[in-house]
Structure 1
Amino acid sequence: MVPRTSYDSQATASDATVEERDEKPYRDDASADDAPLYPPTRVSSRYHAHDELEDGLGGVRLDDDEQVGLMQADRDARKPHQGSRIWSQLRSSPQRSDKRRPTAFSGCLIFSGVVIGFMLALPLLQWLSSNTASAAPASTSVGTAKPSNNISSDASIESVHSWKQPASPNTPAGHYALANTQLFKVDFQDPGWETVAQAAAGTGLTEAEVTSFKTHDGHDLMPLDMDTVFSGTLAPQTSDLTWSEEDPDEGVFSHVDWTKRDIWLEDVTHARHQKTGSGKVAPFGGKVLVVEGKNVLDANGRMLTWTSFKLSPDLRWVLFFTEETDQWRYSKKSHLWLHDIAAKKTTQLGSGPKAPPKVTYAAWAPRSAGASTDEAPTIAFVEENNLFVVPRAGESAVKVTDDGAATIFNAVPDWVYEEEVFGTDSVMWFSPAGSKLVFLRLDETAVPVYEFPIYNPDLYRAGMTQAYQKMTRMKYPKPGFANPTVSVKMIDLDEIRSATRQGGAVRPTQYTLHSPMSSKGKAADEVDRLLSTDAGVKERLVTEVKWVSDSALLVKETDRYSDVMRIVHFDVARGMLPTMKAGSAGADVEGEVMRKQDARADKSGWIRAAQTIEPLSHHNLSVGSTAYLDIVVSPQGFRHLAYYDSATSDQPVFLTDGAWEIAALKHVDARRRRAYFVAARPTPALRNAYYVELPDWQASASSRTPATYTLKEPVPLTDVSKPGSYDVRFDPKGAYYVLDYQGPDVPYQKVVGVDDASFELMLEENVLLRQMSSQYVKPSSTFYQLVLNSTLADGSRAVASVQEIRPHDFDASGETKYPVLVRVYGGPDSQLVDARWARADWHQYVASTLGYIVVVVDARGTGFRGQAYRATVAGKLGDAEAHDVNEAAAAIATLPYVDEKRVGVWGWSYGGYLTAKSVELDKKVFSLAVSVAPVTSWAFYDSVYTERYMKSPHTNRKGYEASAVHVNSAFGKTKYLLMQGSADDNVHFSNSAHLLDMLTKAKIRGFRFRMFTDSAHSISVRGAYRELFEEMTSFIAELWGAGGRREPKGAKAKNRPALHNSVERRA
Structure 2
Amino acid sequence: MNTIKSTLLIISILWSGLALAQQKKKVSLEDVFKSNNFSQKSVNGINWMKDGQFYSSLQRGLSGPKVVKINVATGEEAGVLIDGGALGINFSSYAFNPDETKALVASDVESIYRRSSKGIFHVIDLQSGNTQKLMNGEKIMYATLSPDNEKVAFVKDNNLYIAELANGQVTQITTDGKWNHIINGAADWVYEEEFSMSKAFDWSPDGSKIAFIRFDESEVPEFNMQTWGKLYPEDYRFKYPKAGEKNAEVSIHIYDLNSKNTVAVNSGSEKDIYLPRIYWTGDNNTLAFLKLNRLQNQLDLFYANAQTGETNLILTEKSETYVDLNYNDDLRFLEGNKGFIRTSEQDGFKHIYHHDKQGKLIRQITKGNWEVSRLVGLDEKSKKIYYISTEVSPLERNLYVINMDGKGKKILTPEKGTFTINMSKDFKYYIANFSNTSSPLKVTLNESSGKLVKVLEDNQELKAKIGNFAISPKEFFSFNTVDGTSLNAYMIKPADFDESKKYPVLMYVYGGPGSQNVTNSWGGTRDFWHQHLASEGYIVVCVDNRGTGARGRDFKHLTYANLGKIETEDQIAGAKFLGTLPFVDKSRIGIWGWSYGGYMSSLALMVGNDVFKAAIAVAPVTTWRYYDTIYTERYLQTPQLNAAGYDDNSPITHVNKLKGNLLLIHGTGDDNVHFQNAVDLVDALIKADKQFETMYYPNRNHSISGGNTSWHLYSMMTDFIKRKL
Shorter-chain-normalised TM-score: which range? over 0.9
Q: 1:1017 to 1:270 in 2, by over 3 A?
A: same
Instruction: Quote the Cα distance in structure 2 between the aligned partners of 1:931 and 1:242.
Output: 37
Partner residue of 2:353 out of 617, 638, 642 = 642
Q: 1:889 to 1:735 in 2, by over 3 A?
A: same
What's the CA shift for 1:1022? 4.4
Letter in 1 for 2:27: L
Superposition RMSD in Å: 2.4
Letter in 1 for 2:120: H
Residues 1:509 and 2:261 are matched in the alignment: yes
CA contact (8 A) 2:505 2:590 kept: yes
Residues 1:290 and 2:77 are matched in the alignment: no
Tell me the SS of whatever aligns to 1:963.
coil
Aligned to 2:6: none
CA contact (8 A) 1:559 1:565 kept: yes
Instruction: Quote the Cα distance in structure 2 between the aligned partners of 1:438 and 1:387.
Output: 11
Q: 1:414 to 1:378 in 2, by over 3 A?
A: same
Tell me the SS of whatever aligns to 1:876.
coil
Aligned to 1:613: 330
TM norm structure 1: 0.64
* 1:729-756 CA distance string (max 9 Å, x none): 111121110011122223210100126x
**Structure 2 stretches of 5 or more lacking a match?**
1-13
Letter in 2 for 1:413: A
CA contact (8 A) 1:938 1:964 kept: yes
What's the CA shift for 1:714? 2.9
Aligned to 1:408: 182
Partner residue of 1:453 out of 223, 226, 237 = 226
Aligned to 1:751: 445
CA contact (8 A) 2:191 2:198 kept: no
Aligned to 1:1016: 701
Partner residue of 2:412 out of 717, 723, 735 = 717
What's the CA shift for 1:467? 2.5
Partner residue of 2:542 out of 856, 859, 865 = 856
CA contact (8 A) 2:506 2:541 kept: yes
Instruction: Quote the Cα distance in structure 2 between the aligned partners of 1:633 and 1:859.
Output: 20
Note the 1:1033-1048 alignment, pairs <5 A: 1033-1040=718-725
Aligned to 1:542: 275
What's the CA shift for 1:1038? 1.5
Residues 1:675 and 2:368 are matched in the alignment: no
Instruction: Quote the Cα distance in structure 2 between the aligned partners of 1:315 and 1:1025.
Output: 41
Q: 1:783 to 1:652 in 2, by over 3 A?
A: farther
Residues 1:730 and 2:440 are matched in the alignment: no
Rg larger in structure: 1
Partner residue of 1:590 out of 297, 305, 310 = 310
Percent identity at matched positions?
27
Residues 1:739 and 2:432 are matched in the alignment: yes
Structure with the higher strand share, 1 or 2: 2
What's the CA shift for 1:610? 5.3
Instruction: Quote the Cα distance in structure 1 between the aligned partners of 2:528 and 2:23.
Output: 22
Instruction: Quote the Cα distance in structure 2 between the aligned partners of 1:539 and 1:560.
Output: 6
CA contact (8 A) 1:385 1:409 kept: yes
Q: 1:607 to 1:876 in 2, by over 3 A?
A: same
Letter in 1 for 2:140: V
Residues 1:973 and 2:659 are matched in the alignment: yes
Tell me the SS of whatever aligns to 1:307.
strand
Letter in 2 for 1:379: V
Residues 1:802 and 2:489 are matched in the alignment: yes
TM norm structure 2: 0.92
Aligned to 1:869: 555
Instruction: Quote the Cα distance in structure 2 between the aligned partners of 1:655 and 1:896.
Output: 48
Aligned to 1:763: 456
Higher RCO (CA-CA < 8 Å; seq separation 6+) = 1
Aligned to 1:434: 207
Q: 1:363 to 1:839 in 2, by over 3 A?
A: closer
CA contact (8 A) 1:321 1:336 kept: yes
CA contact (8 A) 1:968 1:1002 kept: no
Partner residue of 1:345 out of 121, 130, 137 = 130
Tell me the SS of whatever aligns to 2:522.
coil
Residues 1:782 and 2:475 are matched in the alignment: yes
Partner residue of 2:106 out of 321, 324, 341 = 321
What's the CA shift for 1:488? 0.8
Letter in 2 for 1:403: D
Instruction: Quote the Cα distance in structure 1 between the aligned partners of 2:584 and 2:168.
Output: 71
Residues 1:478 and 2:221 are matched in the alignment: no
Partner residue of 1:568 out of 278, 293, 302 = 302
Aligned to 1:150: none
* 1:263-301 CA distance string (max 9 Å, x none): 4453434643x4xxxxxxxxxxx72333344553xxxxx
Instruction: Quote the Cα distance in structure 1 between the aligned partners of 2:65 and 2:503.
Output: 54
Instruction: Quote the Cα distance in structure 1 between the aligned partners of 2:446 and 2:93.
Output: 27
CA contact (8 A) 2:328 2:343 kept: no
What's the CA shift for 1:625? 4.1
Instruction: Quote the Cα distance in structure 1 between the aligned partners of 2:68 and 2:720.
Output: 52
Instruction: Quote the Cα distance in structure 1 between the aligned partners of 2:452 and 2:566.
Output: 49
Note the 1:129-208 alignment, pairs <5 A: none
What's the CA shift for 1:394? 4.3
CA contact (8 A) 1:614 1:668 kept: no
Instruction: Quote the Cα distance in structure 1 between the aligned partners of 2:366 and 2:328.
Output: 19
How many residues are matched? 707
What's the CA shift for 1:393? 4.6
Instruction: Quote the Cα distance in structure 2 between the aligned partners of 1:842 and 1:262.
Output: 30
Aligned to 1:892: 578
Letter in 2 for 1:330: R
Instruction: Quote the Cα distance in structure 2 between the aligned partners of 1:611 and 1:377.
Output: 34
Instruction: Quote the Cα distance in structure 2 between the aligned partners of 1:611 and 1:400.
Output: 31
CA contact (8 A) 2:609 2:658 kept: no
What's the CA shift for 1:391? 4.5
CA contact (8 A) 2:656 2:688 kept: no
Letter in 2 for 1:749: V
CA contact (8 A) 2:53 2:72 kept: no
Aligned to 1:901: 587
Aligned to 1:236: 40
Aligned to 2:4: none
Letter in 1 for 2:511: G
Letter in 1 for 2:310: E
Instruction: Quote the Cα distance in structure 1 between the aligned partners of 2:337 and 2:89.
Output: 44
